Chain A
Amino acid sequence: MPGKVLIVDDEANIVISLEFLMEQAGYTVAVARTGEEAIEKIDSFHPDLVLLDVMLPGINGFDILQRIRQHFAPHEIAVVMLTAKGREVEVTKGLALGANAYITKPFSTRDLLAEVRRYLEPGEEHETLTN
């Protein structure tokens, strides 16, 4: 069952890599470069999963996460935080606000894909795919 992934990041090259990865895995992809755009896309695109950067111009990733969780439970929209800020507090804060996973940049593409599949294709066995 193919899922819909919303990529939220302001780094053009990172967006390109994520877009490629998600499309290659068979997901429908939408991109938002700012917080405002992200909120708008959540309403219009109805993603199953959001790849969410924390450091965004305008509304930041934590604010977006909070808004998502006001309306959608983790099993309705999964949120995977992507951040270059790898500090413990940030991870804790993100998980406390209801993120499903927290991945630090730079990330391993395989780990990222595995994490995404875990939420979008829960019934399947992922171990084999990661290798």
Chain B
Amino acid sequence: MIGGVMIAVALAYLGVLFAIAYYGDRRAACGRSIINNPYVYALSMGVYCTAWTYYGSVGRAAGSGLSFLPIYIGPTLIAVLWWFVLRKMVRISRINRITTIADFMASRYGKSTSLGGLVTVIAVIGIVPYISLQLDAVSASFMLLWRHPQATGVPAITPGGLDTALWVTLGMAAFAVLFGTRHLDVTEHHEGLVAAIAFESIVKLTAFLAVGFFVTFVLFEGPGDLFGQAQQEPALMQLLTFSDAMLDYGEWAWLTGLSMLAILFLPRQFQMAVLENMDEQHIRKASWLFPLYLLVINIFVLPIALAGLITFQGQPLDADLYVLGLPLMAGSELLALFVFIGGLSAATSMVIVDTVALSTMVSNDLMMPLLLQLRILRPGERGDYGGVLLAIRRVAIVAIMLMGYVYFRVTDTTASLVSIGLISFAAVAQFAPAFLGGIYWKGGTRAGALIGLIAGFLVWAYTLPLAALHSISGAPDAFLLNGPWGIAWLRPYNLFGLTGMDPVAHALFWSLFVNVAAYVGVSLFTQPTVLEQGQAARFVDVFDYASNSDAVFLWRGTATVEALRSLLERFLGAARTERLLDDYAHRRGMDWAATQQADAELVQHAERMLAGAMGAASARVAIASVVQEERLSMDEVLRILDETSQVRAYSRQLESRTQQLEQKSRELEAATKELRAANERLQELDRLKDDFISTVTHELRTPLTSIRAFSEILYDNPTIDVERRTRFLEIILKESERLTRLINQVLDLAKLESGAAEWSTTEVNMANLIGEAVTASSGMAAEKGVQISTQVENEPPLLVWADRDRIMQVMLNLLSNAVKFCPAEGGRVSVEAARQGQWLVVRVADNGQGITREDQKVIFDKFRQGGDPRRGRPQGTGLGLPISAQIIDHFGGKLWVESTPGEGATFVFTLPLPVDDKQ
């Protein structure tokens, strides 16, 4: 294929990435992020899949079957824990404005510049082999494609002359510089970068699936055919099974564990998953989307490997290049070009993100602290240090890329991609003890972290890269076989006589063993500094800190606002400093003009702002240069912490006490209300009772007055004429009767109302009862010339359950009232009884003058009588109707009056008929 075309396509592809990144940044600037969703987040994590996955998995599968898988099983397993672990990392990083994993470690262990520097060194050294892997893969694939079709299967690298790998290195370095160092503040999200990486994840996945489809369904006739052909070869069959020969369970376990750590601590994974996270909620979805991505991209690994083995039998093509070789072999150059681009995307995404992360570490956690501490940079002087930071980063990128190139050149060029990658994995795994310990164990100290890291790293270096250097020639030399100076227990692959392990597993075992032991051991025997303790609490209990304002300020010293401002300006620029400080003042209602001395909070705020650009450790050094800090003794710190916690505990107590009191007062209020209501009811009852007694007294006095008056008159006038004497005596008798009746009724009503009345309930035939009542009233009616008519529906008999005497009392009362209110001439009373559904309805109607609407309301009240006052009070007690109503009510019925004034009144009562009375 023409090299120019390939280069043009590759450059075009990189151009597209730039366009996407530019678009992403533009959108972010407008506040319309294209990456703020869980899908882009999960795709950006796909940076995990590099050329190693793209080319190397097939190579690994061709050599040892399914053993390519643990590297994907590990991340899949740990994704289950992301919601707890990753979310905590994200939260801590956001709150502390963490810029890199080195910054994270430095910040946790008391903003230690030495720890940040150490982590940086380990990361750089650890990642260099990984970068060389990408260079290897890209240049090999480039060469394979370029030379096609003249020399398929020729080793990819031309010695000397045109050094493809160097050009690839320089090209990628240039791209990474252009791409990765556009911004200064590394805590601001690189939205463009993330968008481009997500896009690359799609490209490499699509390309790999395309070649997988092509191989499986075009070159072969589907998976059945492919696996069928493979079965002809016993050697190939072994690749497909979990046979003991092909599979070392121990190795599987080690690789799975290793990749679990790698997915958390690889600088590029930390960058994408932690620092570029926009929303903690995205982690939820990503924790199944990302494993799904891994699954899909691995589906065709085995078919391609088998197809390669079958197709290139006996040819010297590196199995790592089957992915590209197969379409080329089939003459599908366009697909091959697409596959090359896919591989390029896998490599560039890794290189870009890792170099961005590493260069940030180098500038923030290694160079800046050095420059500040060595007084090469003096924060007190004028000057733009932001530019210095960027320059350092750019140089760092180029240097790292060149180191990768050198590693690529000096190490065994025939080593598989996977084995190179695993060396890097093992290096970053050294971060695990101090990192995980740092976010879950407050006891971890800076010294423990430093010594653990150094020990683990040294063991790693000795057992992996150093050992690798000693097998450049392809065969292990005496150093490997016999150990240095012939000391057998120092053999790099068999340290302390440990045998039977794969070199990576062996290295991982020993390095992590000494790392953890040193970290825990030293931590237990060292005293953390004040700052370390504060940071430990901020990290471990990150979810307990609602916000920064909740944090304890363990700082005492003096600084002027002016000094802080000029310091910030030098690193962040005047405009940004102005904006940040104004925001701060606005939030706290401060006025800069009136503030000269910075308080602890402002100093910490400035430090955090600075940390965003240069890392926590550097920021600390920079701040220290303008602040007169007073060292706090341990006792003082403990006192401050103690006071703070006491104040918090006290305020919590107060709060709960207040709530209790509020609750109590609410209860009291409710109780008071109830009491008041009860009291009012009682008073009302009392008043009613008083009224009743007063009324009864009045009603009793009235007949008594007449009786006494006429008795005295008759006594004083013995000679009074007979006619008048008779009349007066009659009045006396009538009033006596009235008095008796009144007393009886008052007692009766009292009994009814108190519930003390005795009832003898029997079956009452209403027709008979009405008949008797009418007969009993006939004398009184005749006296007034009133005619009583009855109309009783007694078929079947109207039977009710009631007290016969009581119902009789009601009937007599209603009849006497009716007669009483009839007109003097032509008075008529009609009595009707009928059934209505389940009710007996009795109506007693008169043709008197009726009852006014007002009177209708009160006649059932005690001692209230209707009628025209001009005609004098009718003879009655005013208790008949209330008593009748009580009686009817007792038997479940109702008593009421219907009347139109001038047209008589009808008193109606109902009584329930027995339910079994069906008719």
Contact = CB atoms under 8 A, between A and B. Distances in A.
Contacts of B728: 17
Interface string B698-731: 1101101111111011001100000010001001
Contacts of A10: 869, 872-873
23 contacts: A11-B705, A11-B872, A11-B873, A14-B705, A16-B731, A17-B710, A17-B713, A33-B872, A34-B870, A58-B869, A84-B697, A84-B702, A85-B694, A85-B698, A86-B697, A105-B701, A106-B705, A106-B708, A107-B708, A107-B709, A108-B708, A109-B712, A109-B713
A56 B724 CA distance: 27
A20 interface: yes
A58 B873 CA distance: 12
A12 interface: yes
Interface centre among A21, A34, A105 (most CB of B within 10 A): A105
Nearest to A33: B872
A13 interface: yes
B735 interface: yes
Interface in A64-85: 84-85
Given A84-B698, A84-B702, A87-B694, A106 B707 contact: yes
A56 B698 CA distance: 12
B903 to A, nearest CB: 23
B364 to A, nearest CB: 96
Contacts of B873: 10-12, 57
B869 A105 contact: no
A15 B439 CA distance: 106
B869 A34 contact: yes
Interface in A15-48: 16-18, 20-21, 24, 33-34, 37
A108 B704 CA distance: 11
A17 B705 CA distance: 9
A105 B712 contact: no
Contacts of B734: 13
Interface of A: 10-14, 16-18, 20-21, 24, 33-34, 37, 55-58, 84-87, 104-110
Nearest to B700: A84
Contacts of A33: 869-870, 872
Q: Which of A13, A18, A108 has the most CB of B within 10 A?
A: A13
A13 B869 CA distance: 15
Contacts of A85: 694, 697-698
Nearest to B868: A57
A17 B697 CA distance: 21
A111 to B, nearest CB: 10
Contact of A14 (B698, B702, B724, B869): B702
A61 to B, nearest CB: 13
Contact of A110 (B694, B712, B724, B735): B712
B689 to A, nearest CB: 15
Nearest to B704: A106
A86 B872 CA distance: 23
Contact of B709 (A56, A57, A86, A109): A109
Nearest to B698: A84
A120 B824 CA distance: 41
Interface residues of B, number: 26
Contacts of B697: 84-86
Nearest to A34: B869
A106 B870 contact: no
Contacts of A24: 717
A84 B872 contact: no
Which 9 residue pairs across A and B have the least CB separation, nearest first? A57-B869, A84-B701, A17-B709, A106-B705, A13-B706, A105-B705, A106-B708, A109-B712, A84-B698
A17 B701 contact: no
A10 B870 CA distance: 8
Contact of A108 (B712, B724, B731): B712
A55 B699 CA distance: 11
Nearest to B867: A57
Contacts of B716: 109-110
B820 to A, nearest CB: 14
Given A16-B731, A34-B869, A55-B698, A105 B704 contact: yes
A13 B873 CA distance: 11
Interface string B723-750: 0100010010011000000000000000
Given A14-B706, A20-B713, A20-B724, 17 more contacts: A10-B869, A11-B702, A11-B705, A13-B731, A13-B735, A33-B869, A34-B870, A57-B873, A84-B697, A84-B699, A86-B701, A104-B701, A105-B705, A106-B708, A106-B709, A107-B709, A109-B712
A84 B869 contact: no
- Of A58, A104, A109, the most chain B CB neighbours within 10 A belong to A109
Contacts of A12: 872-873
A19 to B, nearest CB: 11
A37 B868 CA distance: 13
B702 A105 contact: yes
Contacts of A87: 694
Q: Which of A34, A57, A84, A104 has the most CB of B within 10 A?
A: A84
Contacts of B712: 108-110
B701 A106 contact: yes
Contacts of B731: 13, 16-17
Contacts of A107: 705, 708-709
Contacts of A110: 712, 716
A96 to B, nearest CB: 20
A20 B698 CA distance: 23
Best-buried of A11, A18, A56 by chain B (most CB within 10 Å): A11
Nearest to A57: B869
A26 to B, nearest CB: 14
Contacts of B702: 11, 14, 84, 105
A34 B705 CA distance: 19
Contacts of A108: 708, 712
Interface in B660-700: 694, 697-699
A10 B717 CA distance: 25
B376 to A, nearest CB: 106
B698 A17 contact: no
A70 B427 CA distance: 117
A13 B704 CA distance: 11
A125 B699 CA distance: 36
B592 to A, nearest CB: 79
Contacts of A106: 701, 704-705, 707-709
Given A84-B698, A85-B698, A106-B701, A17 B869 contact: no
A31 B709 CA distance: 17
Given A55-B698, A109-B713, A17 B872 contact: no
Contacts of B709: 14, 17-18, 21, 106-107, 109
Nearest to B875: A12
A56 B502 CA distance: 120
A55 B712 CA distance: 24
A18 B705 CA distance: 11
B694 A17 contact: no
A98 to B, nearest CB: 23
Interface string B867-892: 00110110000000000000000000
Nearest to B865: A57
Nearest to B872: A12
A103 to B, nearest CB: 10
A109 B702 CA distance: 15
Most chain A CB atoms below 10 A, which of B697, B704, B706, B717: B706
A17 B713 CA distance: 8
A13 B127 CA distance: 125
B713 A84 contact: no
A13 B708 CA distance: 11
